[in-house]
């Protein structure tokens, strides 16, 4: 018995070493040289606006005092021009029944609207919203945000964000969005503000704050408090982030939500 007990510490260290090696050797954790543990932030509601509950929100962006929204579903997809002060609809621009609207972003007075599976990128003039197909992409269109006057970032429901030239929509760089090395998939609506990309994740009440250079998630924003129990009944997933520079706040909504929430994190 005494002899066996002498081996217990050595055996314990060996087993522990095997466990540590097993955990650290899994998949993506080794592929990120500088993983980050994200902080958790919470939404602070400073106001609300009404939101059309028939709007299956896919894209949300503020530009020059106007709130622009893209909605989805075949036969119901639209681009919408909304009053930033009271949330009312100024104008609705329907898409053909064959197109399923997705994310939008605005660059150089042009609105770029993704479509889900058709690969078509629609370009609208801000002052005269009539669209034409400006480009195509070879993947599903989910979310989009502009990160400079010449480039945008798109999501396609995976963990990959694609950086694209606005002129061609060709991809010149990708990042894998991750938390401490583990990939985060189902990335949806996007927004670029303060040097970070903010992303909705489909079916999640969290917004992910992402470092554009690395794909590291640096903050998890818990937005689960936005909808009360009764308001959740017919509401879909959180999906709509727009930075409002005048209010210095984010506007958040979701698919078929009754409200737009004006929040800080
Ligand atoms: Ca957005």
Q: Could you tell me the distance, in angstroms and rounded to a whole number, from the CA of residue 147 to the centre of ligand 1?
A: 12
Rounded distance, CA 24 to CA 4, Å? 30
Q: What tokens were used for 65?
A: 């005092």
**What pLDDT is attached to residue 234?**
86
By residue range, what is the domain housing residue 108?
A: 37-264
Please report whether residue 26 resides in a domain. Answer: no
127: left (phi over 0), alpha (psi -120 to 50) or beta: alpha
Q: Could you tell me the distance, in angstroms and rounded to a whole number, from the CA of residue 208 to the centre of ligand 1?
A: 13
Q: Could you tell me the distance, in angstroms and rounded to a whole number, from the CA of residue 254 to the centre of ligand 1?
A: 12
Please report whether residue 18 resides in a domain. Answer: no
Listed in sequence order, the DSSP H helices in the chain are 2-24, 229-232
Q: Could you tell me the distance, in angstroms and rounded to a whole number, from the CA of residue 200 to the centre of ligand 1?
A: 9
Please report whether residue 159 resides in a domain. Answer: yes
Q: Could you tell me the distance, in angstroms and rounded to a whole number, from the CA of residue 228 to the centre of ligand 1?
A: 23
Q: Could you tell me the distance, in angstroms and rounded to a whole number, from the CA of residue 261 to the centre of ligand 1?
A: 14
**What pLDDT is attached to residue 31?**
52
Q: Could you tell me the distance, in angstroms and rounded to a whole number, from the CA of residue 27 to the centre of ligand 1?
A: 31
**What pLDDT is attached to residue 1?**
37
Q: Could you tell me the distance, in angstroms and rounded to a whole number, from the CA of residue 37 to the centre of ligand 1?
A: 25
Backbone angles phi, psi at 89, to 5 degrees: -85, 120
Write the CATH number for 134.
2.120.10.30
pLDDT tens digits along 180-196: 999 999 999 999 999 99
Please report whether residue 121 resides in a domain. Answer: yes
Backbone angles phi, psi at 18, to 5 degrees: -60, -40
Q: Could you tell me the distance, in angstroms and rounded to a whole number, from the CA of residue 60 to the centre of ligand 1?
A: 4
Number of folded domains that form the chain = 1
Please report whether residue 49 resides in a domain. Answer: yes
Rounded distance, CA 30 to CA 28, Å? 5
Please report whether residue 142 resides in a domain. Answer: yes
Intervals of the chain under pLDDT 50: 1-30
Percent of the chain with pLDDT over 90: 84
**What pLDDT is attached to residue 175?**
98
Identify the sign of the CA torsion 67, 186, 138, 180: positive
Q: Could you tell me the distance, in angstroms and rounded to a whole number, from the CA of residue 198 to the centre of ligand 1?
A: 8
pLDDT tens digits along 81-113: 999 999 999 999 999 999 999 999 999 999 999
Q: Could you tell me the distance, in angstroms and rounded to a whole number, from the CA of residue 31 to the centre of ligand 1?
A: 29
Q: Could you tell me the distance, in angstroms and rounded to a whole number, from the CA of residue 59 to the centre of ligand 1?
A: 6
**What pLDDT is attached to residue 35?**
73
Identify the sign of the CA torsion 106, 111, 115, 120: negative
Backbone angles phi, psi at 12, to 5 degrees: -60, -45
Identify the sign of the CA torsion 160, 198, 256, 98: negative
Please report whether residue 58 resides in a domain. Answer: yes
Q: Could you tell me the distance, in angstroms and rounded to a whole number, from the CA of residue 125 to the centre of ligand 1?
A: 18
Please report whether residue 66 resides in a domain. Answer: yes
- For tokens 């998939």, the residue is 185
């Amino acid at each position: 018995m005494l002899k066996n007990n002498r081996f217990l510490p050595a055996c314990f260290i060996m087993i522990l070493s095997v466990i540590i090696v097993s955990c650290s050797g899994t998949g993506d954790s080794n592929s990120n040289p500088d993983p980050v543990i994200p902080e958790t932030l919470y939404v602070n509601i400073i106001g609300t606006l009404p939101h059309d509950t028939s709007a299956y929100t896919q894209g949300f962006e503020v530009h020059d005092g106007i709130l622009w929204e893209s909605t989805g579903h075949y036969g119901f997809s639209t681009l919408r021009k909304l009053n930033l002060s009271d949330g009312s609809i100024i104008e609705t621009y329907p898409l053909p029944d064959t197109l399923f609207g997705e994310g939008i972003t605005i660059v150089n007075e042009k609105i770029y609207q993704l479509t889900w599976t058709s690969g078509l990128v629609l370009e609208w003039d801000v002052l005269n919203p009539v669209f034409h197909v400006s480009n195509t992409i070879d993947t599903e269109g989910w979310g989009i945000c502009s990160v400079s006057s010449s480039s945008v970032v798109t999501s396609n429901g995976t963990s990959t964000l694609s950086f694209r030239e606005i002129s061609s929509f060709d991809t010149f760089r990708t990042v894998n969005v991750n938390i401490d090395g583990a990939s985060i998939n189902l990335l949806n609506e996007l927004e670029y503000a303060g040097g970070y990309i903010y992303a909705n994740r489909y079916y999640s009440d969290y917004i992910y704050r992402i470092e554009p250079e690395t794909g590291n998630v640096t903050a998890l924003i818990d937005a689960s408090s936005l909808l009360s129990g009764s308001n959740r009944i017919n509401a879909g997933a959180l999906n709509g982030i727009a930075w409002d520079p005048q209010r210095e706040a984010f506007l958040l909504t979701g698919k078929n939500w009754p409200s737009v929430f004006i929040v800080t994190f």
